[in-house]
Structure 1
């Protein structure tokens, strides 16, 4: 009788953990930032990956710090991408890390473009808005993995329009270049006029 009760209790705990996603090694939400929709996306895409021969993974972690976000023992992982969210005193820092075998797919430019494309949402203190940005980041990582292993794209991947956002993320480069051009033109004009006056 006691053994039956213990087994029933263990089964209920197992079902609870599975349904809430806490049992998944792909989600470590220490800061309690992830919405249910975000957790479902992470679990569903990783379940699909589990059915492939390569079995890549995307692990999403939230931690209560904004510095030193590199996952422990990253060099020991294979076919794994980490999306790490650091949060402290309303500050947020989102970083993407990959195992060595995925470095070519997740170059510094690729990682920067993914995060920069959602920078406004990822900095937001609004949980819903933040999760929208995080889901985009996750889907962008999934799309990159799917392209790397030549998997067919599915409903969890970015659309062609969304992929175009990554090619042309919000950048300050153009405004800065224009401002520099104006400053240089102004200086050239100023020095030309001063030289003419002195003559």
Structure 2
């Protein structure tokens, strides 16, 4: 472990497991070997609100994944330094978190860490695409990337089913002679 790696993990809520720690350290070590040296910092805190990192505007090429934990509630947020705002738009951040929302809300530590690793890999993939790095084992697969880029696949079929139901009800009420206005 390098001194650079240790600064990327701040587990104040003591919820990160060794697989999550290893992923964070290994990917950030790879970033440390690049010209741009981006960072993904993962912090856990013992609160679920006010998760914005202090002095965020002073960081460059940095993404923060902040997990707030209080009792049985979890809140995960993604923040990026100003130079990465174009890659981490609000929609991108929401889509990443919503792709694994059930795992991120889980009270089970292993399940929560699985979701957090997904969020980390999604952020790493976004950074790799931003700086045109080649994708590696620490990035999302194509199927996982599709899960993020098309999070509302089920919304259209549901909307069509509701429209058909309403159309059917309107037709039924217009045709039924027993129903008078």
From 14, 39, 43, the counterpart of 1:32: 14
Higher helix content, 1 or 2: 1
Show structure 1 runs of 5+ residues with no match.
1-17
**Is 1:165 equivalent to 2:150 in the alignment?**
no
Q: What's 1:15 paired with?
A: none
For the pair shown, the structure with the greater C-alpha radius of gyration is 1
Aligned-pair CA distance for 1:181? 2.2
Q: Residue 106 of structure 1: SS of its match in structure 2?
A: coil
64, 67, 77: which one aligns with 1:85 = 67
Separation in structure 1 between the aligned mates of residue 137 and residue 20 of structure 2, nearest angstrom? 14
Aligned residues: 179
- Aligned ranges 1:88-107 → 2 under 5 Å: 88-107=70-89
Q: Which residue of 1 aligns with 2:106?
A: 124
SS state at 1:86 partner: strand
Instruction: State the 4+ residue runs in structure 1 displaced beyond 6 angstroms.
Output: none
Q: TM-score, normalised by structure 1?
A: 0.80
TM-score after normalising by structure 2 = 0.87
Question: Structure 1 residues 185-194 or 134-143, which shifts more?
Answer: 185-194
3-state SS in 2 of match to 1:110: helix
Matched, 1:53 2:18: no
SS of residue in 2 equivalent to 1:197: coil
Structure number with the bigger relative contact order (C-alpha 8 A, sep ≥ 6) is: 2
- Could you tell me which runs of 5 or more consecutive residues in structure 2 were left unpaired when the two chains were aligned: none
1:190 positional shift: 7.0
Deviation string for 1:86-136 (max 9, x for gaps)? 111200011111111111111111111111111111111111111111111
Residue in structure 1 matched with residue 130 of structure 2 by the alignment: 148
Any conservation in 2 of the 1:116–1:170 contact (CA below 8 Å)? no
Distance 2:161 2:115 in 1: 30
Is the contact between residue 117 and residue 170 of structure 1 (CA under 8 Å) also seen in structure 2? no
Q: Which residue of structure 2 lines up, in the alignment, with residue 8 of structure 1?
A: none
1:172 positional shift: 6.4
Give the alignment's Cα RMSD to 1 decimal. 2.4
